[in-house]
Amino acid sequence: DHKDIATPNRTKEILQTYGLSAKKSLGQNFIIDTNILRNIVEAGDVSEKTTVIEIGPGIGALTEQLARRAGRVIAFEIDERLLPVLDDTLSPYSNIEIIHEDILNVDMDAFYKARLKDTEEIVVVANLPYYITTPIILRFLESHLPIDRMVLMMQKEVASRLSAQPSTKAYGSLSIAVQYYMDAEVAFTVPKTVFMPQPNVDSAIIKLTRKKGTDIDINDEELFFILTRSTFVQRRKTLWNNLQAAFGKDERIKDKMSKALKQSGIDPKRRGETLTIDEFARLSNAFSQMGF
């Protein structure tokens, strides 16, 4: 049994020993509460058969809790200054690999082939750097890595956008981009006081679980995402107005759009924010059939 990293005193001591201060520009807010960390690991359902991918191990607070439960932990850290720290704080654990790389530059296919091919279960767990929350999530989802679950700490407001349902203020193209691949739920909210230094915003843990299979097969994913995004460009406007602005106003195009809407049974006077993902899927398939 080893002393937890995530206590206020130990965190201070580690930072002092290495002469480090948290870098705001890298979104460094270290967790100093082991209960929160255990709840995160719990939400991730992490076990012996799990390979965990962590983004931004920091000084190793979450990494350590993960390593106690997981088969393997692979953690990407961008900040070179933290490498000797992690070497030291995580030395009691033999199932952790630290990779010094910007997560947004990782070649996911190559990473999968090199390190993940034979894994039974892949779970992404992170206390994310908030300045790049969305790009990180989209990168993982669009990479088509066979990720089973993701448990992620982020700004509360972003968490509610990811998990939002139609006809709510938070619902938008980000909700759809995420929920196209994963079921999304807010697991719990987190007070600012568990961080050092404390962030300016409230935080929440979101849990994303791979969908068992989408209800509708989408013919053209790119078109689906283009169409979705276009209908939220001016939220207060109708579907029809936003579609015209995106795809064109000439008669031939309007005629094709009109047919596609009719075929998918969607009223052009509705607002994009009222459409479910299945409705967007139907509409995008009809668009695709019309040659868009």
Q: Which residues are annotated as a binding site for S-adenosyl-L-methionine?
A: 29, 31, 56, 77, 102, 127
**56 vs 65: CA distance, rounded Å:** 14
Please select the residue that binds ligand SAM; options are 29, 230, 244, 284, rule is CB under 6 A.
Answer: 29
DSSP secondary structure code for residue 70 in this structure: S
- If binding is defined by CB under 6 A, does position 99 make contact with ligand SAM? no
Chain-centroid distance of CA 113 in Å reads 22
Q: Is 13 in the site for ligand SAM (CB under 6 A)?
A: no
Q: Counting contacts by CB under 6 A, is residue 78 touching ligand SAM?
A: yes
Distance in angstroms (rounded) separating the CA atoms of residues 129 and 115 = 24
To the nearest whole angstrom, how small is the minimum distance from the Cβ of residue 76 to ligand SAM? 5
| Part in contact with ligand SAM (CB under 6 A); list of ranges 72-80, 165-173, 238-246, 272-280 | 72-80
Using rule CB under 6 A, residue 140 touches ligand SAM = no
Cα(282)–Cα(261) distance, rounded to whole angstroms? 9
Question: Where does residue 115 rank: exposed (0-12), middle (13-18), buried (19+ CB within 10 A)?
Answer: middle
Among 20, 26, 245, 246, binds ligand SAM (CB under 6 A): 26
Instruction: Give the residue, chosen from 12, 88, 104, 235, that forms a contact with ligand SAM under the rule CB under 6 A.
Output: 104
- Nearer residue to ligand SAM within complex by CB, 28 or 51: 28
Q: How far is the CB of 23 from ligand SAM (least distance, A)?
A: 7
3-state secondary structure 3-57: CCCCCHHHHHHHHHHCCCCCCHHHCCCEECCHHHHHHHHHHCCCCCCEEEEEECC
Residue 55 makes contact with ligand SAM by CB under 6 A:
yes
> For residues 202 and 189, is the Cβ–Cβ distance under 8 A?
yes
Which positions lie near ligand SAM, rule CB under 6 A? 26-31, 55-58, 61-62, 76-79, 102-104, 127, 129, 132
